[in-house]
Amino acid sequence: MAATSEGDGAVLHAAKLVRDSVPPIHPGGRPVIASVAAAAAGIRLLTGRGTGLGLLATAATAAFFRAPTRVPPPRVGAVLAPADGTVALIEEVVPPPELDLPREPVSRVSVFLSVLDVHVQRIPMHGRIRSVRYVPGVFLSADLDKASTDNERNALVLETQTGHALGVVQIAGLLARRIVCDVRAGDEVAAGETYGLIRFGSRVDTYLPPGVAPEVAVGQRTIGGETPLAVLSRAVS
């Protein structure tokens, strides 16, 4: 009996390890996954073929919408990357009108997401959402500089607990056709929590407060909710 109990415990432990290693799926991706699975099942019923390809397509779609758990670093004042990807651009620019920030040049850090990256977006710091604004546009390649002003995008301003204002903009890419944003003006948010999703290739711009320099470099990989883009060293009075 003891041996049986130990065996059952080992199986349960192994099952837990497997379950913990599979990241959850963002709710915004579930309808897409269901549609792909239904299409695959329909092809299988009509043709008697395509089981393997259908399973592969469904698994690949589910992987695209994964939302792995992230642990923000215990670094006071850290502005965390809002997305997984590669730092494509770091420039001094005037924030776009939709952010309603002061019209003075600030550092903008642009993270480009390939189709293989995690596509959920994360809150960069503890704070409160001041505003959210959707702007329609075109679907240029997200790694182009003018994608920040021409592409479909969703902009939010975060009032941080340090008293600063951060601008974060989700930008649709060449293949993206849907931006999901789950926060609204007035919401209290925590660093690292997921707040949105861009479907199939995209970019996320972070506008730092005036005088704050980035601590990342062009070409550097970022992990959403964990990689510090910059550090706010003092509170605004």
Catalytic residue among 110, 141, 202, 237: 202
Q: Indicate the SS3 state at residue 150.
A: helix
Give the pLDDT score at 105.
Answer: 96
Residue range 214-232, pLDDT digits in tens: 999 999 999 999 999 999 9
Band of residue 201 on the pLDDT scale cut at 50, 70, 90: low
List the CATH code of the domain at 78-231. 2.70.70
Residue range 37-88, pLDDT digits in tens: 777 677 767 777 767 776 776 666 666 676 788 889 988 899 999 999 999 9
For the chain, the structural domain boundaries read 2-64, 78-231
Q: Indicate the SS3 state at residue 170.
A: strand
Q: C-alpha angle with apex 88: 21 to 180, nearest 5 degrees? A: 55
Band of residue 10 on the pLDDT scale cut at 50, 70, 90: low
| Catalytic annotation present for 35 | no
Neighbours of 203 (CB within 10 A): 27
Residue range 146-160, pLDDT digits in tens: 777 788 899 999 999
User: In this model, does residue 212 exceed pLDDT 90?
Assistant: yes
**Rounded mean pLDDT of 6-21?**
51
